[in-house]
Structure 1
Amino acid sequence: MTDLLIDCGNTRLKWRLQEQGVVQRSGVMLVRDVNLTQLQACLPDKVGVLYWASVAVVKIGLCLEAWAQQKNISCHQMTTQHQWQDLRNGYEQPQQLGVDRWLAMIAARQHTRRAVCVVDCGSAITFDYVSAEGQHEGSYIMPGARLMGQALVRDTAQINVIHAVVDSTEPGTATGPAALAGCQQMVHYGVGGLVKDAQALGYEILLCGGDAMAIAEELDLPYLEELVLDGLARVAGLVKH
């Protein structure tokens, strides 16, 4: 049986094809490019079951379901739960916790049984704290560098960071590069400070998300690119080899 796993974030859609738990193929596409034609062109043809989770707009999920129906593929959407095995959702309204973060925490529990802080660096940056007993203790959510830059462009006159290319370790010598460098420094020091605080409290740190690799290298921390897909596979009852 071939299983297709899809994690659809705000910016990227990531997919992975598994057969009896063995990863066969994987890929990425931009969410803004997702439509039925693009899915037909980019996703594998021979699929038995589709398991998907999304924090993107509703039309993306409808598009995935339409693709699966056209292919006559069994389709299962994964959503945030109150509890999965010994992991307990700490939100007062569990469904408000993004399913990508929930799945990442599920996968993190397979990596370590210690207290763990899952840091997802995507369009937004999220910190989710889980005790050694599996209790989700709460979260921090902050904008990523790109969202901060967009806010500056939108709400401040005469700032354009769209074409700016900067070394984020140096102050900018024009308004656009200075704004972009400032946003990147905010992310660098914000994430670094919270990571150090979490480590001081005994949390193991796991990073995921499209912008996390550079941060993981700087802080010498583990980067798990497919943590959300790994959690999705766990909930679906699949095992990755």
Structure 2
Amino acid sequence: MILCLDCGNTRIKWGLREGSDWCARGAFATTATLTTATVAELAAHLPADRMAAVTRVLGVNVAGPAVAAAIERGLGRSVQWLQASPHCCGVTNHYEQPAQLGADRWAALIGAWHLQQDACLVLSAGTATTIDVLDAGGGFQGGLILPGLDLMRSALARNTAQLPPQPGHYRMLPRNTQDAISSGALHATLGAIGRMYAHLAQMTAGPVPACLLSGGAAEALAPHLELPLRRVDNLALEGLAHLALAS
């Protein structure tokens, strides 16, 4: 059995994989106290009855080295932390400096290619929103990083004197400030997705490309995306699982 970990700035997502199936999945918060948590406190987030069967642990981590060290201490074993490379599992990384691509984006691209095997837009909507272009040959052509929906809203509340922090509702034509802020963040993100999808469709000669969407904010985005959409619980975990099977 394989344990896959996606350590993000807000949550740590995990999945237990056996063969081609997920046996269990879950998440817990990436809190400030995580790095000082006891082994028992960390272990409580994972299914204790199945951990003895884990033979390998793979992960991606964008939450910093202290979190990585805390995870390994809590597990009592080392983790194979994925780093971006020029090529892996059929995906070619065309970043100017391939090693600078975030490990979570790299894992998500590997997961998307394994699931789709064709050109697609890879959307991960979390603390940040990433919009990445994968071509029909498995080439990562580039992508965008935006503040996530919550970050956009909180930035306005934090850096202005009179804009409210309370969330509003999506409206095409908002008529109160809370709705204007929430709708503005959503429109900005949807606009970026639409522009990147139009570029991908223009450069793709084959079938209409799909959008693969994952992340905590996927629920807010999905109803407004008028594109061929495929929801995936966690693309980074899918990528790690495929890497484990391939190596």
Q: Does 1:58 align with 2:87?
A: no
Match of 2:128 in 1: 124
Distance 1:199 1:58, change over 3 A: same
Match of 1:182 in 2: 184
Q: Following TM superposition, by how much is the alpha carbon of 1:221 offset from its aligned partner in structure 2, in angstroms?
A: 0.9
1:225 to 233, 237, 245: 233
Q: Does 1:205 align with 2:207?
A: no
SS in 2 for 1:157: coil
Taking structure 2 as the reference length, what is the TM-score of the superposition? 0.83
Greater shift, 191-200 or 58-67, is seen at 191-200
Q: State how far apart, in whole Å, the 2-side matches of 1:206 and 1:222 are.
A: 5
Q: Does 1:83 align with 2:82?
A: no
Match of 1:11 in 2: 10
1:7 alignment partner AA: D
SS in 1 for 2:108: helix
Identity over the aligned pairs, expressed in percent? 32
Q: Does 1:166 align with 2:174?
A: no
Point out where structure 2 has 5 or more consecutive residues left out of the alignment: none
Q: State how far apart, in whole Å, the 2-side matches of 1:177 and 1:217 are.
A: 17
Question: Cα deviation per residue 1:18-52 (whole Å; 9 max; x = unaligned)?
Answer: 23454221111121263534422211222423221
Q: Is the 8 A contact 1:213 1:223 kept in 2?
A: no
Q: Following TM superposition, by how much is the alpha carbon of 1:92 offset from its aligned partner in structure 2, in angstroms?
A: 1.9
Q: Following TM superposition, by how much is the alpha carbon of 1:56 offset from its aligned partner in structure 2, in angstroms?
A: 1.3
Q: Does 1:30 align with 2:24?
A: no
1:212 alignment partner AA: A
Q: State how far apart, in whole Å, the 1-side matches of 2:118 and 2:190 are.
A: 25
1:43 to 46, 49, 60: 46
Taking structure 1 as the reference length, what is the TM-score of the superposition? 0.85
Match of 2:245 in 1: 237
2:218 alignment partner AA: A
Q: Is the 8 A contact 1:103 1:232 kept in 2?
A: yes
Distance 1:199 1:147, change over 3 A: same
Q: Following TM superposition, by how much is the alpha carbon of 1:235 offset from its aligned partner in structure 2, in angstroms?
A: 1.4
1:158 alignment partner AA: Q
Match of 2:193 in 1: 191
Q: State how far apart, in whole Å, the 2-side matches of 1:89 and 1:197 are.
A: 18
Greater shift, 134-143 or 163-172, is seen at 163-172
Distance 1:60 1:116, change over 3 A: same
Match of 1:108 in 2: 112
Question: Cα deviation per residue 1:159-179 (whole Å; 9 max; x = unaligned)?
Answer: 222x33324444142x34432
Q: Is the 8 A contact 2:122 2:211 kept in 1?
A: yes
SS in 2 for 1:42: coil
Q: Following TM superposition, by how much is the alpha carbon of 1:74 offset from its aligned partner in structure 2, in angstroms?
A: 4.6
Q: State how far apart, in whole Å, the 2-side matches of 1:193 and 1:137 are.
A: 15
Q: Does 1:153 align with 2:152?
A: no
Q: State how far apart, in whole Å, the 1-side matches of 2:124 and 2:21 are.
A: 25
Question: Cα deviation per residue 1:121-178 (whole Å; 9 max; x = unaligned)?
Answer: 22222121122222221112222221111221232222222x33324444142x3443
Q: Following TM superposition, by how much is the alpha carbon of 1:89 offset from its aligned partner in structure 2, in angstroms?
A: 1.0
Greater shift, 106-115 or 198-207, is seen at 198-207
Match of 1:216 in 2: 222
Point out where structure 1 has 5 or more consecutive residues left out of the alignment: none
Q: State how far apart, in whole Å, the 2-side matches of 1:165 and 1:195 are.
A: 27
